Chains A and B, each alone.
Chain A
Amino acid sequence: MKTIGELAKLVRSKNAGPFVMTIDIMFADSETYELVKKTGVLNRRMVSEIYQMSENQVQFFEVDNCYAFKISIPRPYFQGDIRDSDSHAGQQYAPFVNLLVPGT
Chain B
Amino acid sequence: MVAAEVRILAGSGVCGAGFRAESLEEGIGKKPHFIGCDGGSTDPGPYPLGSGETAFGRSSIKRDMRLMLLAAQKEKIPLLLGTAGTSGGHPHVAAAKEILLEIAEEEGLKFSLAVIHAEQDKNFLKKCFKQGRIKPLDPAPMFDEETIDKAERIVGMMGEEPFLKALDNGAEVVLTGRSSDCAIYAGIPVREGIPAGIAWHAAKILECGAASVEQRKTADSLFATCRGDHFDVEPLDQDLRCTPQSVASHSLYENADPFRLVESSGTMDLSTSVYEALNDRCVRVSKSRFEPATKYTVKLEGAEKVGYQTIVIGGVRDPYILRQLDSWLETGEANIHMRIADIYGDTITRNDYALNIRIYGKNGVMGPLEPQKELTSHEVCLILEATASTQEIATSIATIARHKILHEPIPEWSGLITGLACTYSPAHIERGAVYRFNVNHVLEPMDPYEMFPIEYMNVN
Contact = CB atoms under 8 A, between A and B. Distances in A.
B249 A68 contact: yes
A18 B436 CA distance: 10
Contacts of A86: 365-367
A66 B141 contact: no
A66 B354 CA distance: 44
B256 A79 contact: no
> Which of A24, A85, A86, A91 lies at the interface centre, i.e. has the most chain B CB atoms within 10 A of its CB?
A85
Given A83-B356, A85-B364, A86-B365, A65 B275 contact: yes
A80 B436 contact: yes
A17 B366 contact: no
Interface in A21-60: 22, 24, 26, 49-52, 59
A19 B302 CA distance: 13
A85 B358 contact: yes
Instruction: Assign chain A's interface to a size class.
Output: 35 or more
B42 A18 contact: yes
Contacts of A82: 306, 354, 356, 385, 387, 434, 436
A74 B137 CA distance: 12
Contact of A51 (B248, B259, B369, B436): B369
A4 B345 CA distance: 54
Interface in A59-88: 59, 61, 63, 65-68, 70, 72, 74, 76-88
> Which of B47, B251, B256 lies at the interface centre, i.e. has the most chain A CB atoms within 10 A of its CB?
B256
A7 B255 CA distance: 23
Interface string A84-104: 111110011011000000000
B252 A24 contact: yes
B371 A85 contact: no
Contacts, number: 122
A20 B42 contact: no
A14 B253 CA distance: 8
A66 B369 contact: no
A9 to B, nearest CB: 9
B106 interface: no
Interface in B253-291: 253-259, 273-275
B85 interface: no
Nearest to B249: A66
A15 B253 CA distance: 9
A77 B367 contact: yes
B366 A91 contact: yes
A72 B369 contact: no
B371 A95 contact: yes
Nearest to B301: A18
B34 interface: no
Contacts of A79: 42, 45-46, 437
Contacts of A87: 44-45
B390 interface: no
B17 to A, nearest CB: 14
Contacts of A78: 141, 436-437
Given A19-B440, A76-B369, A85-B365, A66 B47 contact: no
A80 B366 contact: no
Contacts of A85: 358, 364-367
A81 B249 CA distance: 29
A73 to B, nearest CB: 8
Contacts of B43: 15, 88
Contacts of A22: 252, 254-256
B349 interface: no
A18 B46 contact: yes
Interface string B392-415: 000000000000000000000000
B368 interface: yes
Given A22-B256, A80-B47, A80-B437, A94 B365 contact: yes
B258 A70 contact: yes
Nearest to A79: B45
Interface string B356-375: 10100000111111011000
A63 B258 contact: yes
B60 interface: no
B185 interface: no
A91 B274 CA distance: 31
A91 B365 contact: yes
B297 to A, nearest CB: 15
A77 B367 CA distance: 10
Contact of B258 (A61, A92, A94): A61
Given A79-B437, A80-B46, A95-B371, A16 B254 contact: yes
B356 to A, nearest CB: 6
B163 interface: no
Given A68-B249, A92-B366, 15 more contacts: A15-B254, A17-B42, A18-B440, A22-B255, A52-B371, A61-B259, A63-B258, A76-B369, A80-B434, A83-B356, A83-B367, A85-B365, A86-B365, A92-B365, A92-B369
Interface of A: 14-20, 22, 24, 26, 49-52, 59, 61, 63, 65-68, 70, 72, 74, 76-88, 91-92, 94-95
Q: Which 9 A-B pairs have the closest CB atoms?
A: A80-B45, A66-B248, A72-B256, A66-B249, A16-B256, A80-B46, A18-B437, A85-B367, A81-B436
